Amino acid sequence: MTEPKVLEELEQVKNAALAELENVKDETELLTWRNTYLGKTSAVMKAFSSLGTLVPDQRPLVGQGANRVKTMLEAALTEKTNLLKESAMAHSLASQSLDVTLPGRVIPRGRLHPDTQILRELYRIFGDMGFQVYHSREVESDEYNFQLLNFPVGHPARDMQDTYFIDAPNRGDNPLLMRTHTSPGQIRAMREFSALNPSDPPPVRIIVPGMVYRYEQTDQRHETQFDQLEGLAVGERIRFSDLKGTLTEMARRLFGPNARTRFRASYFPFTEPSAEFDIQCFQCDGKGCGVCGGGWLEIGGSGMVHPNVLRNGGYDPTRYSGFAFGFGVQRIAMLKYGINDIRYFWDNDLRFLEQF
């Protein structure tokens, strides 16, 4: 008996299919291939449906042959499917690989304003010496900004600080104003502390940082607003040497272990005696240079708290004494970083800010 012709044809179809499968590159091509060789109209499927038209003794032969071919094609299809999956995965891994020799990208980062940096440094320095940060208000009354600090109404020393007054009605001798200095924080803090135990008020060790406002012509060294740092220590047997020690320690921490301080007699209504304090120039070590002029940098005011001020804060001046100081924070930053114009601080010019 001769081999039925269908089987011969199926053999050829199978060879063609397997050859074609070799060249299939993606899922779409694979789907087409599957329709062509295993779909309803494919030669194999047709062979099955034609079985009924064959003479009986050829049926099993053709049936088995067609089955063999179908099984082979299906196996080849499965193998190819897996192969395509693997290569797709490998491809996507390759696209994710890193070139470790590429130069890194610089990520732009924000930074702290130089004013914030210097303030935080001052908080650390005074925190180490046992001082708390006390925040007082920027809108003040004449009473707190002047009167309770021993500047009576009409006192000539008020002219030292040109004041922005706030237009509020019916306040007579006690108008509202923008604080001209952080010193009113002394009264607010002392009153708050002494209220805790009026007959035996606790000691005070505070710094008061914050903006102050002055009605002034601006220039390289003057702004209409700037930060001050006020200091206040009240307790029993506090002496001028404690003030000197505290400010000298601040100078050393800011400008290095050899920093020296100098105190010059001065006048402030709220301290007696009063002194302005200087730090020896860190640029020239006191020889005199472009930064300092005469070898010393003027930093701020200080003194022993006036008895009237202690009393106004709720502290009996026959039992308590205290020292106080106040200085411009920007002035310290200018000296430390060599900034020659105070107006840079609030210009928000990135060319300035990015240097810190």
- Residue among 181 and 331 whose Cβ is closer to ligand DAH: 181
Work out whether 183 is an interface residue with ligand DAH (CB under 6 A): yes
230 near ligand DAH, rule: CB under 6 A: yes
Contacts of ligand DAH in 311-340 (CB under 6 A)? 324-326
Task: Closer to ligand DAH by CB, 42 or 136: give it.
Answer: 136
Least separation, in Å, of the C-beta of 323 and ligand DAH? 8
User: Which two three-digit tokens encode residue 121?
Assistant: 């440094």
- Pair of tokens at residue 281: 């120039």
Is residue 226 part of the contact set for ligand DAH (CB under 6 A)?
Answer: no
No. of H helices and E strands in the chain? 11, 10
Residues 6+ away with beta carbon under 8 Å from 77: 21, 30, 33, 34, 38
Task: Cis check for the bond before 209: say yes or no (omega within 30 of 0).
Answer: no
- Listed residue (131, 342, 128, 341) closest to 252, CA to CA: 128
Torsional sign, CA 322, 262, 269, 232: negative
Closer CB to ligand DAH, residue 150 or residue 194? 150
* Residue 54 per-residue DSSP state: S
Number of residues located near ligand DAH, criterion CB under 6 A: 12
- Determine which residue in the list 301, 313, 314, 322 makes contact with ligand DAH, applying CB under 6 A: 301
Cα(first)–Cα(last) distance of the chain, in Å?
99
State which residue, 47 or 254, has the beta carbon closest to ligand DAH.
254
- Nearer to ligand DAH among residue 268 and residue 344 (C-beta): 268
Q: Which residues contact 100 (CB under 8 A, 6 or more apart)?
A: none
**Residue of 136, 141, 145, 271 interacting with ligand DAH (CB under 6 A):** 271
The H or E element containing residue 266 is strand 261-268
302 forms part of the interface with ligand DAH (CB under 6 A): yes
CB 303 to ligand DAH: min, Å? 4
Residue closer to ligand DAH (CB basis): 65 or 313: 313
Q: Does 269 bind ligand DAH (CB under 6 A)?
A: no
Residue 32: both structure tokens together: 């087409």
Q: Which stretch binds ligand DAH (CB under 6 A): 114-122, 135-143, 295-303, 334-342?
A: 295-303
The residue from 184, 210, 303, 314 that contacts ligand DAH (CB under 6 A) is 303
- Strands 296-305, 165-166: parallel, antiparallel or unpaired by DSSP? unpaired
Site for ligand DAH in 1-60 (CB under 6 A): none
Q: How many residues does the chain have?
A: 356
Interaction site with ligand DAH (CB under 6 A): 181, 183, 230, 268, 271, 300-303, 324-326
